[in-house]
Amino acid sequence: MEIAQLRTFVHVAELGSLSKASGRLRIAQPALSRQIRMLEEELGVRLFERHGRGMIITEQGRNVLKHAVRVIAELDELRASAAGSEAPLSGHVAIGISPTVADVVSVPFVTAFRTQYPGVMVQLVSAYTGYLLDSLYRGEIDLAVLYDPRVTRSLRSEPLMQESLFLIGPADMEVSGESAVSFAEMARMPLLLPSTRHGLRNILERFAEEAGVSLNVTVEMDSYTAMKDLVRHGHGYTILPLAPIYEDVAAGRLVAVPICNPSPTRQLVLSYPSDRPVSRAAQLAGESLSRIMVEQVNRGIWRGEPLTKGRTDGANELDITGRRSLRIKE
């Protein structure tokens, strides 16, 4: 068994295709196919099911993948330790981010991280919390920004932010009151929300239960981009954090209104698997993500309370309503 075989196996498992892995690794496809075949012969198991559209990892392959990822991570750490902290960082880091977070942090993170560590290949995986948790457990990603994850010994989590949620409406939205809408009033509006498989929906249902009301959900949609489009065209209202719709609000395409009595929030955490070592690249990527999110709060793009270093003093007011000139205060 050779390290090159394990690396090839991990990349093919991730991409689901020999041709895609060939393009990434810049190695001829027949050579990769031979490495996978030799690894299967060595282990005595079938790692993939081959078909015309690619390669699907088997159950035995998933078990092998967990160990292969750990072996490669240990080797990368060994090289980094031997080279010292001043040596250029290299390798690969896979980061899981929810869609609403990805829209806000992807560009500044990749810009900052790739500028500082050009030798590291960055992989961003955008998916909902449940999928990212599974990917962390399987060793497919190295770290993830998650919303209210289940407490488990398999994760080492660091709190990042308590994020505020807003009622989002079309540009011509009319709201009673000067600065906020009550949770009870919001619950009666026609709401466009994710399905119950989505963490945001579960959080809102918990707040509704505590407030003694039921949410008037008229459309379920697990794509927040589609939800924004439906809201813009007057099909109802949704509930989202400010960050992913900041530009829409600033441009007057949407309106964001605070919710009170109670004010719904959700917590973001940075999570690493606790059952395997965290690479230096993953640790530095997590620190970079944390700094960027605090900076977004300080700039008023993200509405919430940082739970990490670099807290904002919350002194600035922010106009987030586009045409209605509603101002939000801490």
Supply the CATH number for residue 26's domain.
Answer: 1.10.10.10
DSSP state of 277: P
Alpha carbons 160 and 152: distance in angstroms, whole number: 18
Same-domain status, 206 and 323 = yes
DSSP state of 245: G
Instruction: Tell me if 144 is assigned to some domain.
Output: no
The predicted structure's pLDDT at residue 85: 56
Instruction: Tell me if 198 is assigned to some domain.
Output: yes
Supply the CATH number for residue 222's domain.
Answer: 3.40.190.290
Same-domain status, 171 and 76 = no
Same-domain status, 80 and 167 = no
Instruction: Tell me if 227 is assigned to some domain.
Output: yes
Instruction: Tell me if 7 is assigned to some domain.
Output: yes
Q: Which two tokens stand for residue 262?
A: 């109670």
Instruction: Tell me if 288 is assigned to some domain.
Output: no
Same-domain status, 192 and 321 = yes
The predicted structure's pLDDT at residue 138: 76
Name the CA dihedral angle for 17, 154, 200, 107, rounded to a multiple of 10 degrees: -50
Structural domain boundaries enclosing 15: 1-84
Q: Which two tokens stand for residue 89?
A: 């960082």
Same-domain status, 68 and 202 = no
Distance set, CA 172 to CA 194, 224, 225, 233, 256 (Å)? 23, 20, 19, 11, 12
Alpha carbons 313 and 322: distance in angstroms, whole number: 24
Tell me which of 84, 111, 140 is where a domain ends. Answer: 84
Backbone CA torsion sign across 96, 102, 104, 105? positive
Does residue 257 contact residue 167 with C-beta atoms inside 8 Å?
yes
Which segments within the chain are labelled E, that is strand?
48-51, 54-57, 91-97, 120-126, 143-147, 155-164, 166-170, 181-182, 191-193, 217-220, 238-240, 254-260, 265-273, 304-306, 318-319, 327-328
Tell me which of 48, 68, 84 is where a domain ends. Answer: 84
DSSP state of 237: B
Does residue 192 contact residue 236 with C-beta atoms inside 8 Å?
yes
Same-domain status, 78 and 211 = no
The predicted structure's pLDDT at residue 184: 93
Q: Which two tokens stand for residue 152?
A: 């488990």
Instruction: Provide the pairing of β-strand 155-164 with 120-126.
Output: unpaired
> What does the pLDDT profile of the chain (330 residues) look like in tens digits?
888 888 889 888 888 888 888 887 778 889 999 999 999 999 999 999 988 778 889 999 988 988 888 887 777 767 666 666 566 677 789 999 988 888 889 999 999 999 998 988 899 998 877 788 888 877 788 899 988 766 566 788 888 888 889 999 998 887 544 578 999 999 999 999 988 877 788 889 999 998 999 999 999 988 878 888 999 999 999 999 888 888 888 888 999 999 999 999 988 889 988 777 788 889 899 999 999 988 888 887 788 788 865 433 333 333 333 333 333 333
Instruction: Tell me if 232 is assigned to some domain.
Output: yes
Same-domain status, 68 and 178 = no
Same-domain status, 323 and 198 = yes
User: Considering the entire predicted model, what is its pTM?
Assistant: 0.66
Q: Which two tokens stand for residue 16?
A: 């689901």
Same-domain status, 213 and 79 = no
Same-domain status, 207 and 321 = yes
Tell me which of 84, 117, 144 is where a domain ends. Answer: 84
Instruction: Tell me if 212 is assigned to some domain.
Output: yes
Q: Which of 242, 270, 263 is nearest to 254 (CA)?
A: 242
Structurally, how many domains does the chain consist of? 2
